[in-house]
Amino acid sequence: MIRWFVLLLASTQLQASENNQLQGGWDVKSIRWISDEQTHELPEAQPGMFIFSDNHYALMWSPKQSPRVPFKELAKPTDEEILAGFKSIVFNSGSYVVTDKELTTTARVAKVPGFEGGELNFKYQFKDDLLILTLYDETYPDGKKPDWSGKWQTEFTLTKAK
């Protein structure tokens, strides 16, 4: 009886992971910031990637129009270079839960100290070979929301990484 239950549980988990179309690496193709009043778009986004395993994710992307500027001396950046570099990238990783239309991530590692345990809420859809992720809400670990909450959404158009 116990063997049958373990086999059934393993089969269910395998089937769930096989049905999870999010799994794998996704390259950022474009980014749009959408509000009721306006939309701002980066039609050709800087290199970025979203990665999904069975239960974990990592995301890295740049909100900048132009390429990130390399440090003049990679091992010895100036304070100005460090600040510019910090402002030019977004990243976090942790666990996620997915339903048939929504994805909620919980950060374990975050660019912004203190966001560990915070959540990002996305709607998602597949269009042909594209994954459209729309970030519509964020909750800090203390339950508070950022100023943009309810005003802006960030739409990522992603292509399967090769």
* Residue 34 · residue 64 · CB < 8 Å: no
Residue range 8-57, pLDDT digits in tens: 334 334 334 456 899 999 999 999 999 999 999 999 999 999 999 999 99
Domain of 129? 23-160
Does residue 90 sit within a domain? yes
Does residue 65 sit within a domain? yes
**pLDDT of 20:** 83
**Alpha carbon distance 4, 105 (integer Å):** 32
Residue range 74-104, pLDDT digits in tens: 999 999 999 999 999 999 999 999 998 999 9
Number of domains in the chain: 1
Q: Phi and psi for 123 in degrees, rounded to 5?
A: -100, 150
**Alpha carbon distance 116, 132 (integer Å):** 25
The amino acid present at 38, given as its one-letter code, is Q
Does residue 4 sit within a domain? no
pTM: 0.86
Nearest to 56 by CA among 22, 89, 15, 81: 22
> Which of helix, strand or coil describes residue 53?
coil
Does residue 2 sit within a domain? no
Q: In CATH, what number is assigned to the domain containing residue 129?
A: 2.40.128.280
Q: How far is CA 90 from CA 23, 73, 85, 103, 156, in A?
A: 20, 22, 10, 18, 13
